[in-house]
Amino acid sequence: MSEPTKTQLVVIGGGPGGYAAAFFAADSGLSVTLVDMEPNPGGVCLYRGCIPSKALLHVAKVASEAKHASHWGLTYAEPKIELDKLRTFKDSVVGKLTGGLGQLSKQRKITYIQGKATFIDAKTLSIEAVTGGGASIKGTGKTQTLTFDNAIIATGSYPTKIPGLSLNSDRVMDSTGALDLPEIPGTLLVVGGGYIGLELGSVYAALGTKVTVVEMTDGLLPGADRDLVTYLARRLETTLHKILLKTRVTGMEEAKKGVKVLMEGEGLADADKAQVFDRVLVSIGRRPNSAVPGLDKTGVKVSDKGFIQVDAALRTATPNIFAIGDVVGEPMLAHKASHEARVAVEAIMGHKVAFEPQAIPAVVFTDPEVAWCGLTETEAKKQGRKVEIAKFPWAALGRALAIDRPDGMTKLVIDPETERILGVGMVGAGAGENIAEGVLAVEMAALATDLKLSIHPHPTMSETLMEAAEVFFGHSTHVYRPKKK
C-alpha cells in the first residue's frame, strides 16, 4: 500500500473516541487516516481498561455467586483458579474486539498507521512507525510526513502517580499492571477508593486475596451520592479485608517479602500505620495525555490541569484542530468520548453542532453496581438548587428478592415545580444495565408522570424506576410514603 501524503482528516489516538470519529468520518465520505501506537484500534479502554476489567469482574461475579449459592441450598467446592486460563480468556476478549475494529477500519478504507504522531505545524504531522508498521509504514523508526485539512486529537489519559511517592518495584502496580494478573497475591493494598480501585480490588478479593483499601476522604467513591455508596460500602466491608478512610499513604519501601507501606490518618490503629503487603495497586485517578509532541507549534491551548481547551463543538484555539475524550476534561468515560467524536466530525463537515448532554451516565461495576446520570443530589446541594428526592428500596421489589439481591435502591432527582426528572441514581445488581432509561428520561425532559405511566415488565429490576416515580406522587404500590402537602 502506498504511503499517504495528504488526508482530509487525521485522527490521533485509536480509543473509543478516536476510532468512533474515524469511522463516522469515513462513513460520511471523508478520506481518513487513523494513527495509534497499537496494532489495531481500541485504545486504553479495550486494551488496558474497560473491557479487560469487565471480563475479570464477570469471573469475580461468578465466583461470588457460587459462594453465595450456599444460602439457597446449593453448595459448590472452592473454585480452582487456573491463572493462565483466566489470562487467556481476558486476552481473547480483547483480541476479538480489537481485531474486529481492525477489520472495520479496513472495510471503511481508513488508512491505519501504527506509529507516533508529532505536529510539525497546524497542517502537518511527522509520523514515526513502531513495530509492525500498520497499514502504511513497514519497520520501526521509519517516518513519513502527512498533511491534513483537519485533525482530531484523541490521545486519552494515563494513570496518576502519588506525588513524591515513587517506588521502582514490580510489586507496585497501576491499573494496567493489575489487569495483567501477574499473580494472586496473599495481600493487596489498593491506594484510592475510586471506581477503578474498587473494581480491581473486588476482582482480587474474589480470587482469594486479602484486600485493604485506603482512601484520603471520608467515604468511598468521592463525588457520588452518599446514599448510593452506603449500599456498596456495606457489602465491601464483608468482601474486603479492611477499608481505611481519612487515611493517606506517606511512604513505601521494599521489604523482604513485599512492600512496606507507611500510613497516617484519623483513628488509625498503631498496627495499621506500617504494614507489609505482597502487592500495592495505586489507583488515584488519571491525567490527560495532552503532551502531544509538537502541539506547542499549532496554537492549541492547554489548561493548567493539562486538558486541551475546546469549545462546545470540540474545536481548539486552532480552527482546524479538534480534541475529544479524556484529553479535554471530565468525566473521563469512553461513551462520552464516542459521542464527542460525532460532534467533532459534524463540525468538521460544516454542521452547526454542540456537545451539550444533560445526562452522561456513570457506572461503577462493583458488586453491587452503582450508576447515576444527570443532576445528583450532591450537586444540587452544592448549587443551592431546590429538588425533591424520590427513592424506591429494592427490598420491596419482587425480582430483587427472587434473586436474593435486595441490597439496592433507585432514586429520582426531581424539580418540585415542573416535576421534571433532573437526575437518576441506582445501586444494586445490574444497576448499570438499567441506568440508560434514566438517561433517556433526563435527555427528553421527561416528567415523573411520564415514568410513572410507562408500563414496565414484571418482574424486572427496571420496575424500580416506575415505582420511584410513583413514590414521588405518594402512591407506590409496594412502598408507603404519603405525598407531601
State the catalytic residues: 458
Cα–Cα–Cα angle for 374, 310, 30, nearest 5°? Answer: 100
Q: Could you write out the three-class secondary structure of the chain?
A: CCCCCEEEEEEECCCHHHHHHHHHHHHCCCCEEEEECCCCCCHHHHHHCHHHHHHHHHHHHHHHHHHHHHHHCCCCCCCCCCHHHHHHHHHHHHHHHHHHHHHHHHHCCCEEEEEEEEEEECCEEEEEECCCCCCCCCCCCCEEEEEEEEEEECCCEEECCCCCCCCCCCCEECHHHHHCCCCCCCEEEEECCCHHHHHHHHHHHHCCCEEEEECCCCCCCCCCCHHHHHHHHHHHHHHCCEEECCEEEEEEEEECCEEEEEEEECCCCHHHCEEEECEEEECCCEEECCCCCCHHHCCCCECCCCCECCCCCCECCCCCEEECHHHHCCCCCHHHHHHHHHHHHHHHCCCCCCCCCCCCCEEECCCCEEEEEECCHHHHHHHCCCCEEEEEEHHHCHHHHHCCCCCCEEEEEECCCCCEEEEEEEEECCHHHHHHHHHHHHHCCCEHHHHHHCCCCCCCCCHHHHHHHHHHHCCCCCCCCCCCC
Query: What is the C-alpha separation between 325 and 154, in angstroms, rounded?
Result: 6
| Cell, residue 173 | 502496580
| Cell, residue 22 | 474515524
Query: What is the C-alpha separation between 166 and 426, in angstroms, rounded?
Result: 37
The answer to whether the peptide bond before residue 457 is cis (omega within 30 degrees of 0) is no
Query: What is the C-alpha separation between 128 and 114, in angstroms, rounded?
Result: 9
Q: CA 156, 162, 165, 169 torsion: positive or negative?
A: negative
Angle between helix 195-206 and helix 50-68 axes, rounded to 10 deg: 50
Angle between helix 83-107 and helix 50-68 axes, rounded to 10 deg: 140
CA distances from 87 to 195, 294, 485 (A): 22, 38, 58
